[in-house]
Structure 1
């Protein structure tokens, strides 16, 4: 008898990331010695998140096509640039008041510059492409090949440095983007390698999510509840407004901008990678991971609603215009 595990996970927004993350946090909370007790490959499953992520980013890089048409470069570049610029502005403002450490008490306990920047920096590629297939054009879908440059901790590290917070050695910055570049080189040298490696990236998501969750305590998950929802709404509404305007100013309908106003599932991996590169961010990494995971869910639910609403309005307006002209 077949059990529809994959289909069930895919019905849950961000399910491939969130369910293994929750499972890992359950094990890490109630049986924290599991990895050490079993050791070997079982232990590696719970502690090898960084290694899995390194391979994941090579596969993500393979999906980048440097032969993109001018339209794709323009559309993807505008959305990428707008999203990164917004994250930098937020980083500058938050960095001035919060520094590197998270807020330690009150309703906003756990929020940090790291959480804000990482949540705003990275677009949910699967969601964007699915929405643009339904409400946009094929070339709008292809624009995500440019936006994949958001993936990984590199831009978050750069943003934190620009915000005047603890910087990273140049070797760390280069090392953060090398796997992505390696994948891009392999994928562009051989289309078969691109197809092979890009298709492998989704398989790794539940495995690095399990390892990330193992390092989280469920108490943090509980306390992140409403605050995580608010972070997701901020990404959706504030990010959506900025990206919508950018898309419209460059000749788009605004649909692509709204579709890009999400937080990627792999953004939840960024705090741990940043903390590994610079230990000063370790206190912020755990709470940031949980908050970003909540933002993934909220934006995955909200973005389709906003896109469908605006696309319907734009379509009705386009149908009404010829009638008005004829009258």
Structure 2
């Protein structure tokens, strides 16, 4: 049976399929973890420890050696993405209640959901798109995007906008596994290879554990809103990313548009933040469902839009080059006539 090949055809499938299975279990058999206990309970309720191991392995997989072009490109995209999420948080905080909207079409929408959907780029999706439509340096820009993984950026945005107060040790705790992994991976390349292999393997496990916290009734309620959130993420983050890529990163905007997605790992951030700040618990479940929908929507639309943008920019470049070549030939002819 080609189970993996089938799952891989679904955008973010290795994350979202186990998440959906976990949500089915939680919706129709919510006491399964307590009933089976032991390792089964640990697998169903171990979102935070599984993510901690994944975060460590992600840090170990990053090579500190990168070209200046890669650092400039990735730094531009990462900082722009975070800055946009910060501005959105500042504006949304003026209109949305701390626990999120409770009734009506926008029920479930919260500042936590908006930040989690916008502050992290799907690095794997970005790299695969840019390998087809960009340069090697642009494809390699996903290196710094890995630094967005985990709850740290979400916590920083919530803290800096005054929406939450985190103790300094909470920030250290959020990033420490990543930093230890990063250090070990760069001290020993064999360790980087060893731990780096686990990053993909752990994805379905934390997807399932995360799904075991979600009631499918919430997903049904936020379905259309989740689709709109995904579209909003592409528009709101995509435009600044395109401009930043063109005027700072030295590209033609293709890399910026390719970075306007929602990372699969972002689905876990609302629950993690809520585990540290209980005041976000009322919004966490709906935020998780909305971010999951945004992951699917952006995973489908971003490659299509990036392909269109890349073709448009290539045609524009070829047209400009043709005009320049024609002007150059005309100048040579005029020069030749003048010499005669």
Q: Give the alignment's TM-score, normalised by structure 2.
A: 0.94
- Which SS does the other structure have where 2:94 is aligned? helix
- Whole-Å separation in 2 of the counterparts to 1:31 and 1:326: 69
Correspondence list, 1:221-260, <5 A: 221-250=219-248, 251-260=250-259
**1:167 corresponds to which residue?**
165
Shift of 1:244: 0.3
Correspondence list, 1:45-194, <5 A: 45-194=43-192
Q: Is the 8 A contact 1:161 1:167 kept in 2?
A: yes
Shift of 1:322: 2.8
Correspondence list, 1:247-326, <5 A: 247-250=245-248, 251-326=250-325
Q: Is the 8 A contact 2:124 2:142 kept in 1?
A: no
Shift of 1:99: 4.2
Shift of 1:321: 2.4
Q: Is the 8 A contact 2:50 2:202 kept in 1?
A: yes
For each residue in 1:148-175, what CA deviation from the matched residue of structure 2 results, as whole angstroms up to 9, or x when unmatched?
1111001101101112112111111110
- Whole-Å separation in 2 of the counterparts to 1:139 and 1:193: 25
- Whole-Å separation in 2 of the counterparts to 1:137 and 1:199: 25
- Whole-Å separation in 2 of the counterparts to 1:90 and 1:318: 34
- Whole-Å separation in 1 of the counterparts to 2:63 and 2:4: 29
Q: Is the 8 A contact 1:95 1:164 kept in 2?
A: no
- Whole-Å separation in 2 of the counterparts to 1:100 and 1:270: 16
For each residue in 1:38-86, what CA deviation from the matched residue of structure 2 results, as whole angstroms up to 9, or x when unmatched?
1111111101111100000011111222222111111111001000000
- Whole-Å separation in 2 of the counterparts to 1:49 and 1:326: 59
Shift of 1:198: 1.8
Q: Is the 8 A contact 2:33 2:41 kept in 1?
A: yes
Q: Is the 8 A contact 2:20 2:211 kept in 1?
A: yes
For each residue in 1:105-144, what CA deviation from the matched residue of structure 2 results, as whole angstroms up to 9, or x when unmatched?
0000000000000100100011000001001111111111
Match of 2:200 among 187, 199, 202: 202
Q: Is the 8 A contact 1:99 1:165 kept in 2?
A: no
- Whole-Å separation in 1 of the counterparts to 2:299 and 2:325: 41
For each residue in 1:244-266, what CA deviation from the matched residue of structure 2 results, as whole angstroms up to 9, or x when unmatched?
00000121111110110000000
- Whole-Å separation in 2 of the counterparts to 1:62 and 1:216: 30
Match of 2:209 among 203, 211, 217: 211
Any runs of at least 4 consecutive aligned residues in structure 1 with deviations exceeding 6 A, and if so which?
none
Q: Give the alignment's TM-score, normalised by structure 1.
A: 0.97
Shift of 1:15: 1.1
Q: Is the 8 A contact 1:92 1:162 kept in 2?
A: no
How many residue pairs were aligned?
Answer: 325
Shift of 1:96: 2.3
Greater Rg over alpha carbons, structure: 2
- Which sections of structure 1, spanning at least 5 residues, go unmatched? none
